[in-house]
Structure 1
Amino acid sequence: MIELRNVNIEFDKKLIEDGTIKIYDGKITAIIGESGSGKTSLLYLLGLISSNHRYLYSFDDVTLDLSNDFEMSRIRKQKIGYIFQDNNLVENLTIFENIRLSATIAGINITDKEIKSYLEFVELGYIDSNHYPRKLSGGERQRVAIACALAKQPELILADEPTSALDTVNSEIIMGIFKKIAHKDKKKIVIATHNDRIYNEADVIYEIKNNKIQLVKGESSNESSKKEPEDYDNNVKLTPRFYFDYAIKTSRKGRFAKNLMIVLSAIAIAFSSVMYNFGDTFVKEQEKLMDAISDKEIFVVNMTAPLNTILDIDENLSIQDKDAELLRNISYVDTIYPYFEFRSIGYPLINETEASEGYIVVSKGQKEEKYTFAESKDNPYDKYVIIPYYPEQNLERRLKEKLSDESSDKVYISSQLAQLLGIENLKESVSLRVLTYVPIAQHETQMTVRPEGIVYEIDIDLSKVVELDLKIEGILDESVRNRYSNSGNNAIYVPYHKMQMILTQTQNSATIDTNLEYIEWRPSAFVVFAKSYNDVGLVIERVSSINPNFRAVSEYQDIESMNAIVKNTREIGLVIVIVILIIIFLLMSIIHMNHILDRKYEISLLKANGLTKIELTKLVSVESLRHVFLVSLISSVISLVVTKVMNLLFEEIA
């Protein structure tokens, strides 16, 4: 027997006050009353699915702790079968799966044969159990719901208006089934109804009237069957497989819409991922581009005298080997070259006096023309210089005229000097015979700087006159200028390794015959290339710590602006990705919440069948995780494919 006492139900108004009801084994109990009188609410109390715990509930002489969700869950799972007015079945499951679900929740391993016997019991042996509920009539759906309840092997079956939407024939079939369950199987049946043909066939009738539960038919005495108290803490535990299988099976409904949502979400996430990856790749490529186009070159001078420009190397001390080694060992340095140049003007020479005149003989085809350069004020033919260039400078990208010759030792001429020498283009072969002064030794002396009269130690190059034959293979654009010394922009650019070879050969073959004291020649400047344009500032800082006389400069280098461009690009890409992901998250959350709300009857059915709040949360969480997993998997695949394709395209373009 089940007994409820001190039943009080109140919403906007009081429906039931201090009511009592008893449900007996082997009896059909009907609850009647006007619409809105509290019949369904009373069924919810009997079914332990109400949040109202302010009453006493005795199940087979055991008083229940209504605040214990696990205890209530155990009773609902194993002792109670609930048949709602409608929405009794999970639409995404087949008839067969709905019945098995009810048995599984109750902890019963049901066989296919038993499922078929339950369908035959409710007079549905003729239907295909692999069909979905939507193919059934109203009466058939209600009978499948009864079969689901029976599969739990419950002690109590609750039915809320089970025949309200059925015709007379189906109503009689339903009542016939209930009578078999109650009278033959000795189960407790409670029906809330306003159909007089139904409740008149009940064994016991309670009427809710004037806020009271009144017994209007049947006995209220000693029809209880005594049973041994049960351990209600032994709740049926649902396995992880249950949640996983349920999530897979319920995903069938609206599969196209769900799959479309998953694919669209995956594409959006993949797009964000690809965009971020390519944004990061773009930033890296931009950094490479900055490295390629930026001036990573640093000019280091051992500057002892306060000259007008630190790029003037005419009067400075040579750099000792130990300091040169320290320069090479700076961690941010990629390559380092000693700087020297061959000039048209020499300082005290071997067996000669100071020279201030040189010449260049231009050969174009069969024609030769000699140009004399003599140092004098405002004379464009005052001086010229031969300067080394380095592979890192990529001077070939700054040519306005070039030959198609593939030789590696290409000699270029500045635009200014080409104009002075009448070299307009290279349509015909152009060669130069240049008189120049190659340094072979150094003389240590002093320099007085006026007006302070401060004396500084300096090194003067002792040079040897050499005549060089050079074939011109390119004319540089006007932006290329001599930024190393005061030798002017009438410059011829020769590969560093070729100039180094000329320097070494000249020094090895030279015979020094002078009254001046001299020392071994060493460069007073180095050209240093940083590993990255971002390292230029770090290298300059380190140079100053090696020698207090060292000065380092990198012209045309706006590192802050370059870094700002890279940083802005990265930040913009990241903001776009974050915005897209937030929009996707919000959309998915809204869609998922709507999906959960659309399933409120399904959730209610599962709760009525015994699932606790924690178990329902697990169920929804597993479905959500499955959804997230599918989205992540598909988005990852799409990202990989798109990234691979884009990389291949970029490789082809490159």
Structure 2
Amino acid sequence: HLDITYRIENRILVCDQNIDEINQTTQLKKSDINSYHKYFFYKNKRQWFQFILVLLLGSIMTISISTNVSDSLLQENKLSSGIKQANKAELYTGKMNDSYIANGVDSYYIGDAEVNLDISTEELNRIKSIKHVKSVYPFDVFDTINQMEDVSKGTVYYQGSKTQFDYFQEGSPMVVPYYSFQNIKVDGKELKGNAISQSLARKLGIDEKEKNFKISIDVYVPVQQYTYQCEIDDSKTLGTLSQVLTKKVNLEIEINHIISTDDYYNEFLSAGYVVLMNDKSFYTILNQYNNQTPDSLLDSKEYNAAITPYQSKNYVVEVDRIKNLKSVEKEISQISNNFITYDQYNSVTDMVDVYKEERKGRYIFMAVVILIAIFLYVLVQMNALDDRKNEIKLLKVYGLKNQTICSLMNDNTIVQSILSLLLSIPGFFIARKIGFFVINRQSMTMSLLLFMIIQIGVTLVICFLYICYSQWFVKKVDL
């Protein structure tokens, strides 16, 4: 009995076959048909090359899609959260010397005391009289370092244990005042008393649920100041500088709460070691030491400068509504060109706009890479399946049903999908290392989980589309 006959007619090889005449006993045994793992390895060199190429293209495609989608979702969530946290109608202001402003400063921050000039009583009253300004408060900081005296290490004591902080390696703690209008919440209730940040609590080895304990901290309290004229940046231009003189004081502070950055969002302090003290207690201490003898006069004798009591150089302004922040900032700048202002809300929203604009270029590049990968992936997959036409015909000749043949054809895709999922794990860490997931770096578990969910979803969609196409292709192949 012949399944297929070949004959030569006019120098052409002609194939004759009649499936209906094939004896059923000639079909493959069922056990052999179901040996899919054996059939998977039945490939020639060309087919193995196609398999590996599809695996690489598929991995690049799915990992790229998953990385960009998950990173974008995390970024949008983080940026939205940042805007929500910075949703405060307050701005900070200070007066800077001309040279400092001329060097391109376009935002305000609590910087080196040398560049902060005194705000006069008249200027302060003009700020208070601006429409939409509800109140104006001084804003000072007790630092645990003093760079003017080459002190870069701060010290905090807790239960007899001493903890040192190196400013240049990890930052140093600061004692900062807070005000009732800032409406800081802890466990849903308004903050009362003093608090420390979670990062400081961890550094000191304090349980984050601990309440009502004491710490001792060495701080440099501003006590006096002097103003002098000096050449700025070797430009031979005289500028006004103000130097603050400090006194080292050991403060014993009762801490009532430990707060997270979500409870007190402040761009100056959100990542640092912070002690929050209510404004009345803070300024009681500041006033107590004001005009006392400082630890060092620094260069006051060299400049023959007159020493005066310390005056607050930075202020926080309470505004009635967020939408009025920009107009208040504009009016403050009109009082004097030396005024610099900063508000967290507009700073965060502007940063979001800049960040989104910067991401466009990266997304366009990745979109091109993904589209090329998709095109090549589809092309190679279709070519690989087309190469198996004769194989499909032969399987049909031996009586295999279309469904069984489809299962054999889909083995490659299933194995490729599993391997692609395994490759996606190192792919995630490589993407993280080259700059993705930076904005959500503090929550790697959440980033990886979202990435893997999207990766699995993309892989399942690709598998589904290929299976649908392979079923159509197998049906289309005629004997």
Normalising by the smaller structure, the TM-score range is 0.3 to 0.5
- Considering Cα pairs closer than 8 Å and 6+ residues apart, tell me whether 1 or 2 has the greater RCO: 2
Q: TM-score, normalised by structure 1?
A: 0.35
Q: TM-score, normalised by structure 2?
A: 0.47
